[in-house]
Amino acid sequence: MERFDLKDKIVLVAGASSGIGAATVERLLAEGARVIAAARRMDRLQALAKDRPGHCLPLQLDVADPDSTSSMVERMPEGWRNIHGAVVCAGHDVGGRARFDQADAETWANIIETNVNGTIRVCRAVIDRMTARGTGHIVTLGSVSGLITYPGGSIYSASKHAVRAFTDGLRKDYGDSDIRVTEILPGLTRTEFAESRWGDGSKAEAFYDKAPGLLEPEDIASAILYAMTAPESVNVSQIVVHPTRV
């Protein structure tokens, strides 16, 4: 069976400005895909797209903002709208790793707004082209926190349990077509995630340094590329990735 060729395919990466998303952009470009790199921090995206005109398009996107997400496709230049794939990396745990009463409702709600509703919005914005063609690939970022719970993680874990259920349901919705739907469930990965959670770079570094084993963003990008380059008749529905030492 033939490996799926991503050359010249248009792939949106939502949450491309750092971590797993940024590593995925690099891997997709190396496969010859044309990549729309979307997130809130345009300076990061412009740096990623620099010297890659026609191959990498930076796009301002706030997945927690319904207007930003629903206008996303029409804000792309005409030649970029026929999206083959969408990798939804946008997510955070701002205010997390704290007991439930130690943050306010809005802080908690924003995790759900971004991780769950944001994922739903991005998928809705790209699905019409996929259904019109009868082909496409959506990849969501769940987490091992979507399989377990832990103290201080009730909301983040709830968000990733929701991503897992949503992604599984989505795959079943399109089971009568060549639209593939994959959930990637990473274990602890060294990115900007912990710094964004605490707003404190040295606390984040200490947290990662203490971990017995850690993944790198490229490890997760490799899992994403494995699913996206599988033969078109193969839907890799979930990939759970742990560091070897846990």
* 62 near ligand NAP, judged by CB under 6 A: yes
Q: Which is nearer to ligand NAP, 24 or 135 (CB)?
A: 24
Q: Do 45 and 71 contact (CB within 8 A), yes or no?
A: no
- Compute the least distance from the CB of residue 56 to ligand NAP, in Å: 14
* 81 near ligand NAP, judged by CB under 6 A: no
Q: Which is nearer to ligand NAP, 130 or 184 (CB)?
A: 184
* 116 near ligand NAP, judged by CB under 6 A: no
* 141 near ligand NAP, judged by CB under 6 A: yes
* 95 near ligand NAP, judged by CB under 6 A: no
- Compute the least distance from the CB of residue 96 to ligand NAP, in Å: 10
Nearest to 188 by CA among 213, 162, 218: 213
Residues in contact with ligand NAP by CB under 6 A are 15-21, 39-41, 44, 61-64, 89-92, 114, 118, 141, 143, 186, 188-189, 191-193, 196, 217
